[in-house]
Structure 1
């Protein structure tokens, strides 16, 4: 745990471009994505608008690459048609219940990459999935950025509750 604290201290003292690069790299990583990168950037005191943009773009880029890769793999798998599995049936049921749009907005709960994989595996077009993932990432990034921006500012007025003071 000490290495993580040292990393955070070094990040706080780093150049601005290194700080933004770190937010971008965190937003690319599946299961961290923009919903982890944006709060980290705002907690560190980086400008909120830039953090939201960088986090959303990094997350969007990684999900778009993933969609194109998984779409290519799906074409190969469809040719080798395998029998149904519990995991595949569960994914199909989730897709039938919520659709591409619902899965895209469930990104912070499930993970954007998993949502995209379920949508592509269920037969949705990659362009349709890409559009909805972009909308979901954008909406959640802005909402999270606004909420976290004002949440951190609220802590300035309540110094006893601020773990960073």
Structure 2
């Protein structure tokens, strides 16, 4: 699996511009890769930073929104069938939710995956529109912060050729 991903990324570097953007979008849609993997890959390969940030954030946001809305529908069905059956995992997620809320969990996206953050929020009973708003804010903020930091980090490496592993 990892070899296939590496081959995909290497082919992406040599592809047409539109295919590079599409590849960035596809990487950002995949859970656990998301925008925080797609952005550095795009910037390292020299794709325009602003476009990479926007495309990766939109792809990540779209996949999380589909997940939120599907999970919300599933949760409504599960809640009707089971009442108050808790597991260790559910109790742990509920404790995290109670401590940080939807906003706090949404900003933990790069640490525990935006999809997992959304799942914790929905499973804890938060409304899907509220989760959607905070996930969008979290994804946007992290994408911009990571993109800007990585953009300037890569540019710094261009000026220090001895430290640049890509030269």
* Aligned counterparts of 2:130 and 2:6: Cα–Cα separation in 1: 41
Structure 2 unaligned blocks of 5 or more? none
Rate the CA distance shift 1:123–1:5 in 2: closer, same or farther, 3 A. Answer: closer
Q: Which residue of 2 aligns with 1:23?
A: 24
Superposition deviation, residue 31 in structure 1 = 0.3
Q: Which residue of 2 aligns with 1:87?
A: 89
Q: Which residue of 1 aligns with 2:38?
A: 37
Which string of whole-angstrom CA distances, capped at 9 and with x for unpartnered residues, describes residues 49-70 of structure 1?
A: 0000000000000000000000
Runs of 4+ in 1 over 4 A off after TM superposition: 1-6
Rate the CA distance shift 1:4–1:100 in 2: closer, same or farther, 3 A. Answer: closer
Rate the CA distance shift 1:130–1:6 in 2: closer, same or farther, 3 A. Answer: closer
> Alignment partner of 1:14: what SS?
coil
Q: Which residue of 1 aligns with 2:117?
A: 115
- Alignment partner of 1:104 is 2:106: yes
Coordinate RMSD, CA, aligned = 1.4
Structure 1 unaligned blocks of 5 or more? none
Aligned length: 165
* Aligned counterparts of 2:8 and 2:95: Cα–Cα separation in 1: 42
Q: Which residue of 2 aligns with 1:61?
A: 62
Which deviates further from its counterpart, 90-99 or 3-12? 3-12
> Alignment partner of 1:74: what SS?
helix
* Aligned counterparts of 2:28 and 2:104: Cα–Cα separation in 1: 21
